[in-house]
Amino acid sequence: MFKGGLKMKKYTMLPLIFCVICVILNQTAYAEWDYDAKELCYYIYIIEGKEDARQAFGIETIQCNSFKECEQICINTIENNKVRYLKQTEEKSFLTFLAKRYCPPNWEIWLKNLKWYLNKGK
């Protein structure tokens, strides 16, 4: 073994340690994403007024003509915002991030209602 072999091993471990730390930190970003988009969509349907809502799932910025079409737009919105959330660094909570985009004027009440349904029975 050549001189400095021990130092070389220390430096080759740095990228591995860095990767492990990144995975651990990234898990905190995913930790709140225990709900699938379909489940979130169902609760959004409820908090937006169910069948009494002006538009199913509270979809008002995109024209949708059927329940299934509105449901798919809601699911797409959730999934697209998950990608946006993982790319940003300001907001710590995915649900808060989603609430601010889904229902900007009343996001705090909307979020409180969504969390209530998500935690119900758990």
Q: Which two tokens stand for residue 17?
A: 């340690």
Task: Answer for the pair 38, 75: CB distance below 8 angstroms, yes or no.
Answer: yes
Residue of 93, 87, 91 whose CA lies nearest to 115: 93
Average per-residue pLDDT for the chain: 79
CA 81, CA 87: separation in Å to the nearest integer? 10
pTM above 0.75, yes or no: no
Task: Answer for the pair 114, 44: CB distance below 8 angstroms, yes or no.
Answer: yes
pLDDT in tens, 52-76: 888 899 988 888 889 999 999 999 9
